[in-house]
Structure 1
Amino acid sequence: MAAILLKASKRGTLRRIPTGLSPTGVKGPKNPKVNKVCFSQAPDLNGAALQLVETHIDWASQLGAHPVQIRGKKRLPDSHSSKFPEFLAPPKDGYVHVFTPVEKVDCSPEECAPAMRQVIRNVLERRKEGALLFRGLPLATAEDFSRALVNLGLKLTNYEGGIGVRQRLAEAVDTASDDPPEFCIEPHNEMAYTPHFPEKVMFFCLDPPSPGAGGETVIADVREILPRLDKDVVDKFEKLGVMYWHHLPSHTPGAYLSWQKSLQTEDRAAVEKHMRANNTSWKWEDDNLSWWITLPSMLTYRGEKLWFCAIHGNNASYFKAHPLWFDKDIPDHHFPFTTYYGDGTDIEAEVLQHIRDVHWQVSMGFQLQKGDFLVLNNMYCQHARLGFTGKRKLAIALAMQDQDYPEDY
């Protein structure tokens, strides 16, 4: 593809409308014990109190019962690298933080929300942690998930402009991914290829995978990525930025995601308004849409520079392992999406491999249980999915940053 030249958009420190919340920045203990005295309680709608306690989970033993080999794994892009970990690592102690009810509870999703919100504020916002799991709450369906979500006081948003294949399940809730089950989704920050990415990503387990059947939910601490990347690679992307290219036909049957589905409209004028509002370039070819944007590879969040981009997971090489695309002989810019350096030149295969190696070196994973409610800070924690057999279904919801942080001034 010929070089595509356009002026890079500016994206750096996040700014949002203040809400009056004032994070303390207090760091919590890293190694919680079983039933540690760390309660969060809030009155439910009937005046009772739901109590949540931080609980230790022996992730290593659970994963050890069914070790997951990822080096050389089929349908995992570029996994034959000698620098890939041989096996998926379990979560570290204190990452993920797990909160469970003190006793068996029988309350509505709305009644669960106040105590959950207190935990989210304490763990993700005040203590600057990346991942939080609620387990054992009386939530079972997508509607339960939605009813709890809309009462958490978060700034929920939709998936407009997203490139994943998803279906709406309930208010503010979609399927997490409708990709073929055998495919492995790489570690990524949600919607990092747009300037309107969410701050929080929430998953809910509707149908868990069977033990040993795969489908592990993978997380990666973003703060461990930048120090491991080659300095020359980082410097080049910091200088040029990343160009994200998307090719979206109109209601085309087959594996493509249409622009109508991605942008949630049938109106071309609405598409163009969205593109202008997000400093995005686009072109129409008949009724087919291509759009592209150049964004920084890093951003500053809460006073810290983070590697925040989708260089590998949005590159056309992603499709070389995808069961719907691996045998397609088409140019890179005719795949649903790909990436370039910010000046429009190709990213070298060895650079993509290095970035993938580092991401999997810091990745951890586990199988969710039915009713698990996982909350991630999208700035600090990436997520992924390993392929599976049998059943597995997750729901997802997104929330924008709804406060300013003092350390960003």
Structure 2
Amino acid sequence: MWSRIGRKAYSNPVSTTEVNLVETHVDWASRAKLHPARIRGRKWLPGSASPNYPEFLKPPKDGYPYVFTPEDGTTASPEECAVAMRKVVHELLEKNKNGAVLFRGLPLQTAEDFSSVVNNLGLKLMGYEAGDGVRREIAKGVNTASDDPPEFCIEPHNEFAYTPLFPEKTVIADVREILPRLDKDVVDKFEKLGVMYWHHLPSHTPGAYLSWQEAFQTEDRAAVEKYMVANNTNWRWEDDKLSWWITRPPMFKYRGEKLWFCGIHVINASYFKAHPLWFNKDIPDHDFPFNTYYGDGTDIEAEVIQHIRDVEWKVAMGFQVQKGDLLVLNNMYCQHARLGYTGKRKLAIALSKQDRHYPEDD
């Protein structure tokens, strides 16, 4: 049951159809008790055999995410909804440095509706060039969230943490809660050496691999090499296979605060060893689609990868998404993930670039 508290409202006074968005309270804890999501020992979840995993996924905190719904329902167009939504996004994510806001009850039914909203939120949308995920474009600026098998659980991660260009239960994690919980020696070693992200992409081929043509959205090797040069990335061709790697810091200063911003665990080869399409493949780690190393090229110890996973899931929160939900995340402050699911679902994403400079990051 939803209960409106009505203290904050954002409207679109110039629209022919007024959209009045009201902050809404959700009793996440009661919902989680009715439908608990088991984490520890969950099949197809990397590292879940660890005794340090929480037994069940935590519900969201109050105000994380904030939830907004139309005050009296609405028949407004997606473009008209976007105007009111833009004010909420600016107030909460930009001015108040919050990590997430969830919009519910808006008349958004299709990928085209979603595209109309995100293309009218005043954001600088970006494509998915060089992305690791298995996705496909379904509308302007919009991709499927993941085309991985539905039973597989995708771990909490920041989008594009491995490049200089970052931008059933849905899982989110407050990035600001991760760093204080990590072992200091682990953090210090990564801060000293950095993180090497390794990618191995064949040409068009049947099977589970993502091809370099799909990842870079081109058939032209020269276009791929241009991307590598522009982003200070190393690469090599072996026949028609592409390997590329880049070393990045494990932390990033954002709005004056140092954040744990990396994909050490989720881009590690161990991810594939718990994946239904890869778990029985007897191949070296560097021949999986991606892997991580310390910045000097040495292997990251299995216990370190597990420690990071333990911490990530201890701070993770989740809720059941509903038809028409639109969740806006600040990728610097909030990680995202998913648990496996059954049945049919349609979940789409859009990515946007940071469009302003913060003096406190100088």
- Structure 1 counterpart of 2:49: 80
**Kept in 2: contact 1:248–1:288 (CA 8 A):** yes
Residue identity matched to 1:70: I
Which of 363, 378, 389 is matched with 2:331 structurally? 378
Identity fraction in percent: 73
Query: 2:135 matched to 1:166?
Result: yes
**Kept in 1: contact 2:18–2:76 (CA 8 A):** no
Q: Kindly tell me: are residues 83 and 324 of structure 1, through their superposed partners in 2, closer, same or farther at Cα, counting changes over 3 Å?
A: same
Residues 218-297 of structure 1 mapped to structure 2, 5 A cutoff: 218-297=171-250
CA RMSD of aligned residues (A): 1.0
Query: 2:7 matched to 1:37?
Result: yes
Counting matched residue pairs gives 360
Question: How big is the shift at 1:302?
Answer: 0.3
**Kept in 2: contact 1:43–1:114 (CA 8 A):** no
- Structure 2 counterpart of 1:205: none
Question: How big is the shift at 1:36?
Answer: 3.1
C-alpha separation in 2, matches of 1:281 and 1:74 = 35
The unaligned stretches of length 5 or more in structure 1 are 1-32, 199-214
Which of 286, 294, 316 is matched with 1:341 structurally? 294
C-alpha separation in 1, matches of 2:5 and 2:278 = 47
Q: Which secondary structure does the structure 2 equivalent of 1:257 belong to? A: coil
C-alpha separation in 1, matches of 2:77 and 2:5 = 24
Q: Kindly tell me: are residues 44 and 171 of structure 1, through their superposed partners in 2, closer, same or farther at Cα, counting changes over 3 Å?
A: farther
C-alpha separation in 2, matches of 1:219 and 1:70 = 14
Question: How big is the shift at 1:49?
Answer: 2.7
Which of 114, 119, 126 is matched with 1:150 structurally? 119
Which of 298, 308, 312 is matched with 2:251 structurally? 298
C-alpha separation in 2, matches of 1:360 and 1:393 = 25
The unaligned stretches of length 5 or more in structure 2 are none
Residues 294-373 of structure 1 mapped to structure 2, 5 A cutoff: 294-373=247-326
- Structure 2 counterpart of 1:69: 38
Question: How big is the shift at 1:44?
Answer: 4.7
Displaced runs of 4 or more, over 6 A: none
**Kept in 2: contact 1:161–1:262 (CA 8 A):** yes
Q: Which has the higher contact order (CA 8 A, sep 6+)?
A: 1
Q: Which secondary structure does the structure 2 equivalent of 1:82 belong to? A: coil
Residues 37-116 of structure 1 mapped to structure 2, 5 A cutoff: 37-46=7-16, 48-116=17-85
Residue identity matched to 1:149: V
**Kept in 2: contact 1:44–1:50 (CA 8 A):** no
C-alpha separation in 1, matches of 2:328 and 2:206 = 34
Q: Which secondary structure does the structure 2 equivalent of 1:272 belong to? A: helix
TM-score (norm 2): 0.98
Deviation per residue, 1:285-304 (Å, 9 max, x gap): 01110000000000100000
- Structure 1 counterpart of 2:149: 180
**Kept in 1: contact 2:12–2:19 (CA 8 A):** yes
**Kept in 1: contact 2:197–2:293 (CA 8 A):** yes
